[in-house]
């Protein structure tokens, strides 16, 4: 249940009753315990507009509100804050519900465009953020009950493929070389530059490919298959939920591009500029107020990134029936997406009711604040990064000496390695640049994946010591002391946190939530005996532990991170 929303609705109704207009209650979790559990800030803004006394307005709103069964205490504080403390009964009832997550009442069809690497190059750390953040958002929206369409809009078309396929032909179909595409690309371009016969063959290949010659198409497909299988291996290693069914690359839209240009023309949006076809919209201007074109067809007839994206948008609207379309790319593509969305709406390719959202993210930096690269300045392939994570996690688990069997040892290493890489990225506000640092991401203290995973494992060991199972344990949660209550409240905030992540495409809210949950759990666990507590307390406390474990597991699952029962 979304408690925050419930309070917001109830108070919202009261605001409306008192002021005779729709006024937001603005409920949020209280920032300090002395402000109650939740706090509503709406009275100040409304009172200012209506020129009345905010404290008096807040009092009237509380008087008019129906909070029975939910709130035990309300307090008007400061200039007109409404502090709300949930009732014991309500807490108990909410935590007694078997479902941790309630499906949203309005199921939307949501397209998420993420990962989307260019196949001419190795999947490198530049694509890591899109892959990890997009995947967590997709999983979260899915758990909330939405109909999610993952779209891996890979770059699988264009002139570089002429060179690459020609080189692959020359070398024989060795997929090992393709494991490092950047190296492969470098070798191919060297051949292209130095050998005119090679260059001629590569150019001819591009012409054949673009005119749809069967032989060329087959060879290109082989190349794409080899490199997508490499990509898929990395997804599997990283526990990314993308599979080949989600791949719909640029080439999938080749046959629609001419129509896109024709339709733009028909919509009266097309202009010619130096022989190239483009769209000018008045809201986009460059230096000195000069109108900025969005190029859709070059003078030689070639189409562009924008054109393909317009075709993809139409597909997502028409075929996938999207209510929302989310794109996860780095911030540098901001202008591209602003123009794309504006043109899609102006041309009515996509109705205004379809929400188009670009969710950008900052750069990945090393500890010196420089772009994250290997020592020789080249980009670091993702599989090298994953290997290093495994190595480091292995050393850590070994040092803990926790007598795990081989299989369990490997499972724990994997959970920690992958969890650390993902969580370190996910826990930061994606809009900021993010500094990659092995030591801090693998720490067992602080806002890290191992800290959360460790808490989960501790709860599991508690249950196994009591010969119980945390999965099936049921009892009423009746929080008596402060530490129990703090934990119980935090457990009640899970749903609202997931909904926030889904709305904003910002998984760091969920990380902050899970971190706070774990910290509250640790405080509770250090101060309240569980297995040795008197019968009544024992049951309620075990139920609190079980609920915490389930929430941690579900939350980490939304982030694509595994839990383990022992560490």
Give me the residue whose beta carbon is nearest to ligand ARG. 116
513 binds ligand ARG (CB under 6 A): no
Task: Select the span of 115-123, 280-288, 467-475, 559-567 touching ligand ARG (CB under 6 A).
Answer: 115-123
Sign of the alpha-carbon torsion through 536, 541, 543, 544: positive
Question: Which of 8, 37, 113, 383 is close enough to bind ligand ARG by CB under 6 A?
Answer: 113
Which tokens in the block code for residue 116?
A: 């989307």
Closer Cβ to ligand ARG, 206 or 326, answer by number: 326
Binding mask 366-395 for ligand ARG (x = CB under 6 A): ------------------------------
Phi and psi at residue 117, in whole multiples of 5°?
A: -75, 165
Strand 147-151 and strand 109-113: the pairing is parallel
Residue 551 CB, nearest approach to ligand ARG (Å): 33
228 binds ligand ARG (CB under 6 A): no
Residue 112: strand, helix, or coil: strand
Look up residue 381 and give its DSSP letter. B
Closer Cβ to ligand ARG, 309 or 499, answer by number: 309
Which tokens in the block code for residue 422?
A: 């993902």
- Report CA 148 to chain centroid distance, whole Å: 13
Closer Cβ to ligand ARG, 337 or 390, answer by number: 337
C-beta separation of 461 from 566 below 8 A? yes
Closer Cβ to ligand ARG, 70 or 231, answer by number: 231
Neighbour order of strands in the sheet with 324-330 = 147-151, 109-113, 324-330, 355-361
Residue indicated by tokens 């067992």: 444
Task: Select the span of 4-12, 30-38, 111-119, 369-377 touching ligand ARG (CB under 6 A).
Answer: 111-119
Closer Cβ to ligand ARG, 245 or 445, answer by number: 245
Binding mask 146-165 for ligand ARG (x = CB under 6 A): -------x-x----------
Burial of 259 (0-12, 13-18, 19+ CB in 10 A): exposed
Residue 18: strand, helix, or coil: helix
Closer Cβ to ligand ARG, 85 or 118, answer by number: 118
Closer Cβ to ligand ARG, 178 or 397, answer by number: 178
In 10 A of CB 21, how many CB atoms?
A: 10
Give me the residues paired with residue 277 across strands.
272, 297
Residue 180 CB, nearest approach to ligand ARG (Å): 18
116 binds ligand ARG (CB under 6 A): yes
327 binds ligand ARG (CB under 6 A): yes
- What CA–CA distance (Å, rounded) separates 118 from 280? 28
Question: Which of 8, 135, 256, 309 is close enough to bind ligand ARG by CB under 6 A?
Answer: 309
In 10 A of CB 374, how many CB atoms?
A: 14
329 binds ligand ARG (CB under 6 A): yes
Closer Cβ to ligand ARG, 113 or 553, answer by number: 113
Residue 158 CB, nearest approach to ligand ARG (Å): 11
C-beta separation of 567 from 559 below 8 A? no
Q: How many residues does the chain have?
A: 567
| Host H or E run for residue 48 | helix 42-50
Sign of the alpha-carbon torsion through 532, 536, 539, 540: negative
The count of C-alpha atoms lying within 13 angstroms of the C-alpha of 492, restricted to the half-sphere facing its C-beta, is 29
Closer Cβ to ligand ARG, 53 or 180, answer by number: 180
Task: Select the span of 89-97, 110-118, 205-213, 500-508 touching ligand ARG (CB under 6 A).
Answer: 110-118
117 binds ligand ARG (CB under 6 A): yes
Closer Cβ to ligand ARG, 296 or 393, answer by number: 296
Residue 500 CB, nearest approach to ligand ARG (Å): 24
> How many residues sit close enough to ligand ARG to count as binding (CB under 6 A)?
10
Residue 361 CB, nearest approach to ligand ARG (Å): 12
Which tokens in the block code for residue 368?
A: 């010196």
Closer Cβ to ligand ARG, 30 or 326, answer by number: 326
Residue 329 CB, nearest approach to ligand ARG (Å): 5
Query: What HEC string does 393-427 produce?
Result: HHHHHHHHCCCCCHHHHHHHHHHHHHHHHHHHHHC
Closer Cβ to ligand ARG, 242 or 396, answer by number: 242
- End-to-end, the C-alpha distance of the chain in Å comes to 32
Which tokens in the block code for residue 384?
A: 């090298």
Task: Select the span of 76-84, 109-117, 215-223, 479-487 touching ligand ARG (CB under 6 A).
Answer: 109-117
Residue 251 CB, nearest approach to ligand ARG (Å): 12
Task: List contacts with ligand ARG (CB under 6 A).
Answer: 113, 116-118, 153, 155, 309, 312, 327, 329
């Amino acid at each position: 249940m979304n408690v925050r929303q419930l309070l917001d609705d109830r108070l919202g109704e009261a605001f409306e009753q008192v002021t005779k207009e729709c006024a937001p209650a603005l409920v949020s979790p209280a920032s300090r315990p002395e402000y109650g559990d939740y706090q509503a800030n709406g009275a100040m803004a409304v009172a200012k507009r209506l020129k009345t006394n905010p404290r008096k307005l807040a009092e009237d709103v509380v008087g008019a509100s129906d909070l029975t069964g939910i709130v035990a205490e309300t307090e008007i504080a400061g200039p007109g804050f409404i502090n709300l403390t949930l009732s014991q009964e309500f807490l108990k009832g909410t935590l007694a519900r078997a479902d941790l997550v309630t499906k949203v009442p309005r199921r939307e069809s949501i397209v998420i465009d993420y990962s989307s690497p260019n196949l001419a190059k190795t999947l490198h750390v530049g694509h890591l953020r899109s892959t990890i953040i997009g995947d967590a958002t997709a999983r979260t929206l899915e758990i909330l009950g939405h109909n999610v369409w993952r779209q891996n809009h890979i770059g699988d078309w264009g002139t570089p493929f002429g060179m690459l396929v020609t080189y692959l032909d020359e070398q024989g179909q060795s997929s090992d070389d393709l494991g490092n595409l950047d190296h492969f690309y470098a070798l191919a371009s060297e051949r292209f530059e130095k050998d005119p016969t090679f260059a001629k063959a590569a150019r001819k290949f591009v012409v054949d490919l673009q005119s749809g010659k069967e032989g060329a198409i087959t060879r290109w497909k082989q190349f794409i298959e080899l490199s997508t299988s490499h990509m898929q291996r990395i997804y599997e290693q990283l526990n990314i939920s993308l599979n080949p069914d989600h791949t719909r690359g640029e080439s999938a839209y080749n046959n629609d591009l001419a129509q896109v240009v024709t339709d733009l023309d028909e919509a009266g949006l097309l202009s010619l500029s130096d022989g190239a076809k483009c769209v000018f919209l008045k809201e986009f201007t460059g230096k000195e107020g000069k109108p900025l074109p969005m190029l859709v067809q070059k003078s030689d007839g070639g189409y562009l990134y924008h054109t393909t994206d317009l075709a993809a948008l139409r597909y997502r609207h028409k075929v996938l029936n999207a209510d929302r379309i989310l794109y996860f790319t780095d911030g540098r593509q901001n202008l591209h997406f602003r123009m794309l969305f504006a043109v899609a709406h102006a041309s009515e390719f996509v109705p205004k009711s379809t929400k188009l959202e670009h969710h950008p993210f900052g750069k990945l930096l090393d500890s010196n604040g420089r772009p994250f690269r290997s020592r020789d300045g080249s980009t670091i392939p993702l599989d090298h990064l994953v290997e290093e994570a495994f190595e480091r996690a292995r050393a850590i688990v070994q040092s803990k000496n926790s007598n795990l069997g081989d299989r369990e040892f490997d499972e724990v290493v994997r959970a920690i390695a992958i969890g650390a890489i993902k969580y370190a990225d996910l826990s930061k506000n994606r809009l900021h640049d993010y500094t990659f640092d092995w030591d801090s991401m693998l720490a067992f203290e602080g806002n890290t994946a191992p800290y959360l995973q460790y808490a989960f494992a501790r709860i599991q060991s508690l249950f196994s010591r009591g010969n119980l199972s945390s999965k099936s344990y049921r009892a009423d949660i009746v929080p008596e002391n402060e530490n129990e209550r703090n934990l119980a409240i935090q457990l009640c905030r899970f749903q609202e946190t997931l909904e926030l992540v889904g709305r904003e495409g910002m998984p760091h809210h969920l990380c902050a939530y899970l971190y706070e949950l774990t910290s509250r759990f640790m405080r509770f666990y250090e101060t309240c005996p569980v297995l040795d507590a008197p019968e009544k307390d024992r049951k309620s406390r075990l139920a609190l532990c079980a609920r915490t474990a389930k929430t941690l597991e579900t939350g980490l699952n939304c982030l694509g991170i595994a839990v383990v029962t022992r560490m």
